[in-house]
């Protein structure tokens, strides 16, 4: 009986050793299962930058006005200024008078026939301080700017000085090239805002400009006659 018990004990020990070894082998060799995941392709989308070039930005800040009837165009800052077409009637209303009638009554003949006028206004819409005003007269006889000035001065803005000595202080004394044409002008320092009056003769028309401040000069630089476009 002791011999049988010893055999059973031996068998139990062997089984225990084998079980322990099996567990160790299983734990050692157990690897985490690889899960086959689909490849994720990283797509890099281009970043759309809503940025305009400096040239485009500057262009959007400017506006071009064109008048085919009067034969010119000009460019001005879009955000600060506006353009309005003017007339002698409107000018008379602002000045509370009839300046053509007054001119004829004082000088003895009418001023040149006005074909149209254009004024660039600042936000306050003050015509007296407008950077640039353009008055276009009919010039069928092809008068030079000097002859036109001798006859009409700077109508409607300044006129009525007869004697040469007095007239001399407002006479044209400087030149400039505007849109390929020779222009002559005078800066009148005694008038409010120190306007510059400038004449150009072109294609049977006489162009009178009143320029105030650097902003008016800058717009004048953009001025082009229609045939130059």
* Domain count for the chain: 1
Residue 68 located in a structural domain:
yes
Residue 163 located in a structural domain:
yes
Residue 41 located in a structural domain:
no
* Interval 159-191: pLDDT, tens: 986 665 667 789 999 999 999 999 999 999 999
In whole angstroms, give the CA distance from residue 43 to residue 72.
54
The whole domain housing 81 covers 54-228
Instruction: Tell whether the model's pLDDT for residue 57 goes beyond 60.
Output: no
Residue 145 located in a structural domain:
yes
CATH of the domain at 99: 3.40.1000
> What pLDDT sits at residue 43?
47
The DSSP code sequence of 61-115 is TEEEEEETTTTEEEEEETTT-EEEEE-HHHHHHHHTS-HHHHHHHHHSSPPPPEE
Residue 9 located in a structural domain:
no
Residue 19 located in a structural domain:
no
Instruction: Tell whether the model's pLDDT for residue 152 goes beyond 60.
Output: yes
Instruction: Tell whether the model's pLDDT for residue 38 goes beyond 60.
Output: no
Q: What percent of the chain has pLDDT over 70?
A: 71
- Which DSSP symbol is given to 219? H
């Amino acid at each position: 009986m002791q011999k049988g018990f010893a055999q059973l004990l031996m068998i139990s020990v062997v089984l225990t050793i084998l079980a322990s070894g099996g567990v160790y082998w299983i734990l050692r060799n157990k690897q985490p299962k690889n899960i086959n995941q689909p490849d994720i392709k990283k797509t890099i989308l281009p970043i759309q930058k809503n940025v305009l070039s400096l040239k485009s930005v500057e262009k959007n800040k400017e506006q071009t006005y064109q008048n085919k009837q009067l034969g010119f165009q000009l460019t001005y800052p879009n955000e600060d200024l506006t353009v309005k077409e003017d007339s002698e009637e409107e000018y008379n209303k602002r000045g509370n008078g009839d300046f053509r009638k007054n001119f004829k009554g004082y000088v003895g003949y009418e001023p040149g026939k006005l074909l149209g006028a254009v004024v660039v206004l600042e936000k306050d819409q003050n015509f007296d301080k407008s950077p640039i005003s353009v008055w276009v007269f009919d010039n069928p006889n092809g008068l030079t700017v000097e002859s036109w000035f001798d006859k009409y001065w700077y109508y409607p803005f300044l006129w009525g000085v007869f004697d040469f000595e007095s007239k001399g202080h407002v006479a044209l004394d400087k030149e400039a090239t505007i849109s390929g044409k020779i222009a002559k002008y005078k800066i009148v320092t005694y008038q409010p805002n120190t306007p510059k009056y400038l004449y150009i003769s072109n294609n049977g028309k006489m162009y009178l400009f009143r320029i105030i401040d650097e902003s008016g000069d800058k717009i004048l630089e953009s001025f082009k006659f229609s045939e130059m476009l």
